[in-house]
Structure 1
C-alpha cells in the first residue's frame, strides 16, 4: 500500500513541481498547471510525452521554442522562466495566463470577440513586431495561439515553428527545407519555400481577422493540396460579402493583408497599428448590434410568455420583467381579461341502448321446435334449422313403437301394415309433407305418444328445404397457408383494371 501511494505521488510530481490541472493535451506535448511544492504561485508547464522524448526532431523543436521564448520580453508574449532537459523530463516552465484561446471564444460568442477586435489586433501586432525586431518570424499565427482575457489582455504563445527573419544574403539563399505551418493560415511564400519576413505573419494575422469577421477562413477545398493552391492563386472575397456590417475601409485593410505578393502587403506591424487607429471597422458599432439582439431576444421572450403556459422559472423571469416595467403588468392583465372565456360544463355522454336480440328457439319436449306445435301457413323453416319429416296421420313418430289396430274377421295384420279398405279404422289418405290444409278445414293435431323407455332408434335423415329457402352454407375459413398457396401473380388485375389512386 505504501509503495502504491509513493508511485501515485511520483506520477503527480515533476522535479519540484506538483501537477495540478491538465490545460491542453496534444500528440507530443501536454500543458499542465503546476505549483512549486510548498508554494502558491501557479505556472504553465509544457512537457514532452515519454514516447516523443525518444525522437530527436521533436526534442529539437522544443529546444528552438525555448531559444526563441528566452530572447523575447514583451507584455503580449508569454514569458519563459526556464527550460529543463533531463533523462526523465523535458519541459518548458512559463507564466500561467488564466484566459481561454481565441478559438474557444469565437465558438462561444463571436460578437464579443468582434467588440474587442481593435484591441486584439493592436496587441497581437505589437507582440509580433517585437518578435520581428528580435529577428524571428512566428510563422504559426492562428486563433489557437492567441490568448485573450475578458479585459482584452492578449498573450501570443507557441514559438515552436519560428524561423529567423531573412535578411541580406539570407533572402537569396536562406530557403527553408520543409513547409511548416497550419494549412488554413499559411502564407503563399511559405508554401513556395521562399525566405520569410514579417509579411508572412501579416498574412496569417489577416486570415485570423477574416475569420473573426465572417466566422470562417477564406479558402477551403476537398483536400489539403487544393487549399494550398488557393492560397497561392485565388483572390479572397471581401469580408463584407459575408458580413454586411464590415465597413468598406476595413474591407480594403483586410484584403491588403491577404495580398498574394509580400510586397503588396503591410511591410511591418507598426503600419497595421497606425492604420487601424482611426479606422471605422463596422458600419454599426458592435455594442449597438449586441443591444439590438438583446432587445429582440427580450421581445421574443415576452411574446413566448404571453402565448405559452409558464413554468416556475419563466414565472420568476416574468415577475422580474413586471417589476421593471409596470406598464407590462397592466398590459398582461388586460389581455388575460380580454382573452378569458367562460368554461362550459361538459355534457354527460349519452348512454347507448343495447340492441335487443330475439332469444334463440328452445326445443320443446319431444324434440320439436315451437313453430311446429301449430302448423304455419305455409310452413317456413327456421334459419339454420332443417325441418324433420312430418308423419302421416296414425303413423308413429320416429323412435316410437308401431301401434296396430285390433284384428278383424280373424285375419291378423302383419306388423306395420294398415287395415284393408272398408275397415272402420282405415286411415285417411296420406298428404304430402309440408302441404298446407284445405281452406276452411281446421288444422289437425298430431298426437304425441309418451316417450318410450327403451333406447330411441336412429332418426331418418331429414329432408332439406328447397334450394331457394335453404340458408347459405358457412364457408370454411382460409388459413394463411391456403392463402399463400392460392395466391398467384396471374390472378392479379392488369394495370388498366386497378383503381386510380395515384
Structure 2
C-alpha cells in the first residue's frame, strides 16, 4: 500500500499522499505552505511541507518534529490546531487547520491604522494563547508579526512552534542553559542573547516589541550589523512610543516600556498580568476610528475633486473632437495656439540680470550747458545717430563759447559766419575762454527764422559784455567735445547739477 502511494506521488506531483495540492500560500528556503484537500472531501487544510533538500538535514527534520510535539500538546482557540505529523522517506509535513487570514506583517505594511484599531483585542488574544503555552510548560521564543494571524473580525491565531523550549523550572533555572542562541534578532529577549534559562518573560518581551512596531511602524532597536542590534537589546533603553507616534497615550507608554524592561523580574510576570493591566489602560489620545473616518473623508474629497477635473477635461476634449469634425482648419489653429502658449510660459530670470548696472556717467555723452536750450530749439541739428561717448561730431567739432551761456541758441545753421571752427587739442582741457576778438556778435532774440542761417548779430551792449565774458565757475565749466579718457577724469571732479538732470532723457535727441 505504501509502495502504491509512492508510485502515485512520483507520477503526479500535485498529490502528497492522499492530499491534493490546491494553492501555494508561502514559499520559504526549507518549507512550503500549501492549501490542500483530501481526495473526495471539501474541507481545506494547511500543509507545512519540507522541501526535498532540507529533508536530508537531520537538524531541520528534528525542528519539524519538535514543532509537532509542542503543537500536539496545545489546545487553545488562539493557537493553530495540528491534525497530524507525517515523516516518511518521501515526505515530511504537518497538517493543520486552514485559518483564512493574513499575518500581522502584511497588514502592518498595507494598513497600520486598521491594526491599531484592533490592537487591544490583538494583545489580549495573543497574551492568552501564550499564557496557555506557558501553563503547558513551553516558551514560544519567536513571537513576531509573521507568526501572528489576525482576521478583520479580530480573531487571532499564533503559529510556528519550531523554536519553542521548555519553561525553566527548579534546577532547570540553574543548569538548563541553552547551547545556542535562536530567535529573530529584532524581537529576541536579552536573556535569550545571554543564553540564560528562559521563562514567560521572554515572550512578554517579544510581544512588547511587536506592540511597539504596531504603534510606530518600526522596531525600537536598529544597527548596521546583527551584533550591534543584539547589544542594544541588552544595554540600550528604548524610546517611548509616543515620541514617534504622538497619538499614543502616556499610560500606554508606561505599559509598553514595562514589557521591554531589560531584566525579566522588572516586566509583567505572566501573561495573565498583561491582560488584566491592559483593561485599565487608555491606549490612544484620539480614537483610531475617528482618525480613520477623517482620512477616509479627506480621501473621498480628493477623489471627488480629481473626478471633477477629469470630467472637465473630458468635456473639453469632447468639444475639441466635435470641432475637429466640424471645422478641421479652425481646430488645427487652436491646437497650434495651445502649443505656442505652452512654449511661451514665463521662465524665471537668470540671477545675473538682477545685478546692479554700471554707473551711467561712463556711458553718457557730455551734458548740455547750464540752463539748457530754449524749448523752440530742442530739436536735432543733425540726424540722430549713435555715437561713442566722448567723440566729437564728424565734420562739426564746435564749442559753445561762455559769453553765449544762457542766450538763445541760433537755429540750424549755427555757428554764425566768421566764427572759428577749430576744436581744442585732443589731450588738453581749456581752462580759459577763447579770446574776445574771436567771439561772433550775438544774434538778437526772435529775429532768426527757424531752419535758415542767421546773419551776424550786432555787438552786445557794453553793460552786458562783462557779465557774458566773466569766466565760468569751477563747479560748472563749459562742456566741449573731448576725448573719453579726459572727460572721465573731469567728471569725477565736477558736481552734478540737479537742475540739469531732467534733460538727461532728452540728451540723445540733442546729439
Sort the TM-score into its range (normalised by shorter chain). Answer: 0.5 to 0.7
User: For the residues of structure 2 that align with 1:6 and 1:132, how far apart are their CA atoms?
Assistant: 42
Aligned to 2:228: 226
Residues 369-408 of structure 1 show CA distances to partners (whole Å, capped at 9, x for unaligned) of: xxxxxxxxxxxxxxxxxxxxxxxxxxxxxxxxxxxxxxxx
SS at match of 2:93: strand
User: For the residues of structure 2 that align with 1:165 and 1:6, how far apart are their CA atoms?
Assistant: 43
SS at match of 1:128: helix
Are 1:113 and 2:115 matched, yes or no? yes
SS at match of 2:273: helix
Mapping of residues 170-249 of structure 1, within 5 Å: 170-249=172-251
User: For the residues of structure 2 that align with 1:13 and 1:120, how far apart are their CA atoms?
Assistant: 36
How far 1:8 moved relative to its partner?
7.7
Residues 285-344 of structure 1 show CA distances to partners (whole Å, capped at 9, x for unaligned) of: 00000011112223333444555655779xxxxxxxxxxxxxxxxxxxxxxxxxxxxxxx
Are 1:263 and 2:265 matched, yes or no? yes
- Corresponding residue to 1:156 among 155, 158, 173: 158
Mapping of residues 362-373 of structure 1, within 5 Å: none
How far 1:9 moved relative to its partner?
5.4
Distance 1:9 1:110, change over 3 A: farther
Residues 208-231 of structure 1 show CA distances to partners (whole Å, capped at 9, x for unaligned) of: 000000000000000000000000
User: For the residues of structure 1 that align with 2:17 and 2:258, how far apart are their CA atoms?
Assistant: 49
Distance 1:305 1:10, change over 3 A: closer
User: For the residues of structure 1 that align with 2:298 and 2:215, how far apart are their CA atoms?
Assistant: 22
User: For the residues of structure 2 that align with 1:152 and 1:306, how far apart are their CA atoms?
Assistant: 38
Q: Is the 8 A contact 2:9 2:17 kept in 1?
A: no
Q: Is the 8 A contact 2:9 2:15 kept in 1?
A: no
Q: Is the 8 A contact 2:45 2:96 kept in 1?
A: yes
How far 1:19 moved relative to its partner?
0.6
Are 1:64 and 2:39 matched, yes or no? no
User: For the residues of structure 2 that align with 1:215 and 1:276, how far apart are their CA atoms?
Assistant: 21
User: For the residues of structure 1 that align with 2:19 and 2:202, how far apart are their CA atoms?
Assistant: 38
User: For the residues of structure 2 that align with 1:78 and 1:273, how far apart are their CA atoms?
Assistant: 20
Mapping of residues 294-333 of structure 1, within 5 Å: 294-305=296-307, 309-310=311-312
Distance 1:312 1:144, change over 3 A: farther
**Structure-1-length-normalised TM-score:** 0.60
Aligned to 1:99: 101
User: For the residues of structure 2 that align with 1:69 and 1:197, how far apart are their CA atoms?
Assistant: 18
Residues 86-106 of structure 1 show CA distances to partners (whole Å, capped at 9, x for unaligned) of: 111111110010110000011
User: For the residues of structure 2 that align with 1:88 and 1:6, how far apart are their CA atoms?
Assistant: 12
SS at match of 1:185: coil
Aligned to 2:76: 74
Distance 1:194 1:312, change over 3 A: farther
Structure 2 unmatched runs, 5+ = 1-6, 316-332, 338-511
Aligned to 1:398: none
Are 1:292 and 2:294 matched, yes or no? yes
Q: Is the 8 A contact 2:20 2:39 kept in 1?
A: yes
User: For the residues of structure 2 that align with 1:42 and 1:311, how far apart are their CA atoms?
Assistant: 50
User: For the residues of structure 2 that align with 1:292 and 1:253, how far apart are their CA atoms?
Assistant: 28
Aligned to 2:38: 36
Distance 1:162 1:311, change over 3 A: farther
User: For the residues of structure 1 that align with 2:29 and 2:140, how far apart are their CA atoms?
Assistant: 21
- Corresponding residue to 1:49 among 41, 48, 51: 51
Residues 104-139 of structure 1 show CA distances to partners (whole Å, capped at 9, x for unaligned) of: 011111100000000000000000000000000000
Mapping of residues 457-476 of structure 1, within 5 Å: none
User: For the residues of structure 2 that align with 1:41 and 1:154, how far apart are their CA atoms?
Assistant: 21
User: For the residues of structure 2 that align with 1:7 and 1:89, how far apart are their CA atoms?
Assistant: 10
Q: Give aligned pairs, total.
A: 314
Please provide the CA RMSD for this pair. Answer: 2.2
Aligned to 1:444: none
User: For the residues of structure 2 that align with 1:156 and 1:306, how far apart are their CA atoms?
Assistant: 47
User: For the residues of structure 2 that align with 1:176 and 1:286, how far apart are their CA atoms?
Assistant: 42
User: For the residues of structure 1 that align with 2:124 and 2:274, how far apart are their CA atoms?
Assistant: 8
Structure 1 unmatched runs, 5+ = 314-344, 350-502
User: For the residues of structure 2 that align with 1:117 and 1:23, how far apart are their CA atoms?
Assistant: 25
SS at match of 1:99: coil
**Structure-2-length-normalised TM-score:** 0.59
- Corresponding residue to 2:276 among 274, 277, 293: 274
SS at match of 1:103: helix
